[in-house]
Structure 1
Amino acid sequence: MLLAQLLDRAGTGVWAAACVLYFTFVIGLDAGQVGLLLGASGVAGIAGSPLAGHLADRFPVRSLLIGAHLLRLGTLCLMLVVTDFVLLLFVVAVTHLGDRGAKTLEMLFATRVAGDRRATYQALSRSSANAGYALGAGLAAIGLAVGTRGAYQVLILADALSFLVVAALVWRTKEPRGRGLVVPPAGPADAAGPAGRGPWRDRGYLRFVLLDIPMHLDDSILGIGIPLWLVGRTEAPHELIPAFLVVNTVLVVLLQLQVSARVETARQAAGAVALYGVATFACCALLAGAGAGGVWGASAALLAAAVLATAAELVRSVSSWELAVRLAPKEARASYLGVAGMAQSVQKSAGPLLLTGVVMAAGPAGWLALGTAVAGLSLVQRRSSLRRLDRLERLERTPPVPAASG
């Protein structure tokens, strides 16, 4: 599965690096149309996670995951021949729907296989994913340097080929017995939410998912906020921007296992959420002051901010999924985790707009306000998660009520 994930992310990295230029220079779309395409794909991605979780409660996860990869394969191939904007809008939306669904199914499958060692698997998963993204970006750089229509088409085919190979690898992976993540109810301890009502009517779990959205903002801060702040508000050289990705990739590969080793229980994961808030606040504070530091001061502040954003990512990648699993009732875990996966999708759609339209428009004060808000919400998330865990523990200590005899 780790090899499949590396190849999947490599293909995704190729497409992420090339898609905007492909739509602009090969298809001939203007900036507004490209923005609409990417916005539609983000909205479609929000639906991908809960849909995948819903289906995983009813069908084998491996079969669904293979289907998601083949769906992405088909839609990418369609992009080679579709030039009509309306059709392209549909194709891109379906591609991103399959992409988010595949990532949710991938983690559902891994959760079943890894069991109690899911934190360790998550660490290895993050390392392989980052290596894959870096590999994909490097391959894309070669094609972009050539810059011809044929070069762009080769990049798309490379992405499509990665999904075909990944589908084959998943097909060869043995799936644990049973369907989805459904297990027989084990008594009151499983009843974390209203019995039989599902995640959409479980207010406690929905509160966790809602609070988990700002706990993913490190992604937008690192990929969008820091580079744009460098260009628009500091004297740091533009050549520094690729270094942010290098810092992130290297630190994740080197440190993710060590961080995961310190977050092995649900209560440790809840505590780590507060550390996420501290790291994000420190990152935002550095960005707020970066504009007043001159060339060297701004460069140092931005690099340090990238390190702190990566530290937040290291913590979040372990704590978020661990809590999503442990706070969900076992008998409906797949559908619950599908809803939990929406947090990242919503952040990917709303995060860039928040940073560019609100935070950066307000200047340094905007960064300080964002850091303070995330730090405060992280404490709320920690407290809310611990309360739900306490409730689970009380239910575990409650003996099951014997069934009435006939």
Structure 2
Amino acid sequence: MNPLKRLAPRPGALLPQDGAQRLLAGIAFLVTFGYGIYLTGEVLYLTQGLHLPAGEVGLGMGVAGAVALAAGIPVGHLADRHGARGVYTVMLLLCGLAMIGLCFTRTFWPFLFYATVFSFAQTAGYAARSPLIQHYAGDRPAEFRGYIRALTNVAFAASAVCAGWALELNTRSAYIAIIALGAVCHLVGAVMAWSIKSVPLRRAEQQGPRWVALRDRPYVVLSVLDGLMSVQYRVLTFAVPLWLVGFTSAPRWSVSSVVLANTVIVVFFQVRASRSITSVATSSAAFRRAGFAFLLSSAVFSLLPGMPPWAAVAAVLTAATVHSIGEIWQAAGGFELSFALARPESVGQYQGLFGMGLGLGTAVGPAVLTALCIDLGRPGWWILGAGFALTGLAVPVATRWAERATHRTQPAAEPAAEPATG
């Protein structure tokens, strides 16, 4: 049996079967843990440890995020042409070095530089890793991506606990300690990434147009649709807390229960959801189901004002559960579509484009959710839910367009492989 055809993990297994899969999973956990503690402590470190004005911190993080949005496609292209292992390793090294630099930062401009480098490398790393996942997950990369997503949710939870120590002490040295720990995680991850056997390159990529992903209009549309639906990732962490505290009688601890419920559902059910999605047809159906799940959860969230506390808690947990189910459906469908509809010789570039849609959706999410759910109130929740449902209905139309495209329907000869350079 070809080891690349073995999926990870087996039902009931905690670890992948293949050595490269275990390394990729281990890197994902380690790097996510490092990113999580950085994300948790960064703002307080900069504002309270370094005493930078909040406006400067917000500006710097905005610039860094904007630069990072453009990172995926060119770095994914480099991974396709010059070797995913080497490019992925460099991105992890840059993340680690940027975090070390932040430990020695005292003023705005060094902060802006290191934060931008980190955001660029962190975002680009996902695209650079994609050819490795495609190769070592065999014919089911979406299921392996689902496993990694469940694993990284565990890592985020662990990082929040670890970062809580620094938040409680609220000293500059404590913040530096957790950022330095995050740097170590990324540097160790880089060493692990370099130990993965390199993936053969394909000549076909070098014979076609350079930015083939951007020329693939159906794929661009699907990336935009996934980005629009990705606004939902901010609902439970941004809109719901503001809604609960400002407009309902639900106790404040219910905010934490929403995040906990979401984490538990993703950890235990993401792989199962991904395992049932094996084709473009089932992927587009998953998006359609996700859209209606978000519509239902948004409607329940809209009904919370005026409920007694016990009823509000029950309703918000019900809505959060429905929303989380929609989230794992969208994630699983996106994993499958993003690989199945990409040219195999340019998967890094395609994944960079798909990730750009997701990044844009999560970036504009707070502004969209504020305008709809907070400023408009109950009608805004209905508009939001209807938008998700319509987006879910549009995905099957776009996937049928993609499948009708010439390069999808005409069989092509297997491109010759070149020796990998890293």
Q: What is the TM-score when the length of structure 2 is the normalising length?
A: 0.87
Task: Output the CA distance in 2 between the equivalents of 1:66 and 1:397.
Answer: 34
SS in 2 for 1:4: helix
* Contact kept in structure 1, 2:91 and 2:125, CA below 8 Å: yes
Q: Given the alignment of the two structures, is residue 39 of structure 1 paired with residue 62 of structure 2, yes or no?
A: yes
Amino acid in structure 2 at the alignment position of 1:389 = E
In the TM superposition, what is the alpha-carbon distance from 1:100 to its structure 2 partner?
0.4
SS in 2 for 1:173: coil
Within-5 A mapping of 1:305-320: 305-320=319-334
Task: Output the CA distance in 2 between the equivalents of 1:240 and 1:197.
Answer: 46
Within-5 A mapping of 1:184-263: 184=204, 198-263=212-277
Task: Output the CA distance in 2 between the equivalents of 1:284 and 1:157.
Answer: 40
Question: In structure 2, what is the equivalent of residue 77 of structure 1?
Answer: 100
In the TM superposition, what is the alpha-carbon distance from 1:227 to its structure 2 partner?
1.2
Question: In structure 2, what is the equivalent of residue 169 of structure 1?
Answer: 192
Task: Output the CA distance in 2 between the equivalents of 1:197 and 1:22.
Answer: 39
Q: 1:126 to 1:381 in 2, by over 3 A?
A: same
Q: What is the TM-score when the length of structure 1 is the normalising length?
A: 0.90
SS in 2 for 1:341: helix
Question: In structure 2, what is the equivalent of residue 372 of structure 1?
Answer: 386
Within-5 A mapping of 1:290-305: 290-305=304-319
1:136-161 CA distance string (max 9 Å, x none)? 11100122112221111111111101
Task: Output the CA distance in 2 between the equivalents of 1:4 and 1:398.
Answer: 34
In the TM superposition, what is the alpha-carbon distance from 1:308 to its structure 2 partner?
2.0
Task: Output the CA distance in 1 between the equivalents of 2:380 and 2:103.
Answer: 42
Within-5 A mapping of 1:5-404: 5-176=28-199, 178-179=200-201, 182=202, 184=204, 198-391=212-405, 395-396=409-410
Q: 1:394 to 1:339 in 2, by over 3 A?
A: closer
Q: 1:232 to 1:109 in 2, by over 3 A?
A: same
Amino acid in structure 1 at the alignment position of 2:257 = A
Task: Output the CA distance in 1 between the equivalents of 2:116 and 2:210.
Answer: 32
Which stretch shows the higher mean deviation, 48-57 or 19-28? 48-57
Task: Output the CA distance in 2 between the equivalents of 1:169 and 1:394.
Answer: 35
Percent identity over the alignment is 28
Question: In structure 2, what is the equivalent of residue 188 of structure 1?
Answer: none
In the TM superposition, what is the alpha-carbon distance from 1:201 to its structure 2 partner?
2.5
Amino acid in structure 2 at the alignment position of 1:160 = A
Q: 1:72 to 1:277 in 2, by over 3 A?
A: same
Which stretch shows the higher mean deviation, 197-206 or 129-138? 197-206
Q: 1:115 to 1:392 in 2, by over 3 A?
A: farther
* Contact kept in structure 1, 2:293 and 2:326, CA below 8 Å: yes
* Contact kept in structure 1, 2:291 and 2:389, CA below 8 Å: yes
Task: Output the CA distance in 1 between the equivalents of 2:195 and 2:408.
Answer: 42
Unaligned ranges ≥5, structure 2: 1-23, 414-422
* Contact kept in structure 1, 2:93 and 2:186, CA below 8 Å: yes
Q: Aligned-residue CA RMSD in angstroms?
A: 2.2
In the TM superposition, what is the alpha-carbon distance from 1:328 to its structure 2 partner?
2.0
Amino acid in structure 2 at the alignment position of 1:271 = A
In the TM superposition, what is the alpha-carbon distance from 1:34 to its structure 2 partner?
2.4
In the TM superposition, what is the alpha-carbon distance from 1:376 to its structure 2 partner?
0.6
SS in 1 for 2:154: helix
Q: 1:203 to 1:142 in 2, by over 3 A?
A: same
* Contact kept in structure 2, 1:42 and 1:348, CA below 8 Å: no
SS in 2 for 1:99: helix
Q: 1:17 to 1:50 in 2, by over 3 A?
A: same
Question: In structure 2, what is the equivalent of residue 190 of structure 1?
Answer: none
Task: Output the CA distance in 1 between the equivalents of 2:149 and 2:412.
Answer: 38
Question: In structure 2, what is the equivalent of residue 403 of structure 1?
Answer: none
Amino acid in structure 1 at the alignment position of 2:31 = D
Q: 1:303 to 1:183 in 2, by over 3 A?
A: farther
1:274-308 CA distance string (max 9 Å, x none)? 01101111121111111121212222222222212
Amino acid in structure 2 at the alignment position of 1:313 = E
Task: Output the CA distance in 2 between the equivalents of 1:393 and 1:171.
Answer: 33
1:302-361 CA distance string (max 9 Å, x none)? 222221221122112211121112222233332222111101211121111111234321
SS in 1 for 2:306: coil
Task: Output the CA distance in 1 between the equivalents of 2:411 and 2:27.
Answer: 41
* Contact kept in structure 1, 2:80 and 2:131, CA below 8 Å: no
1:344-386 CA distance string (max 9 Å, x none)? 2111211111112343211111111011011011111121112
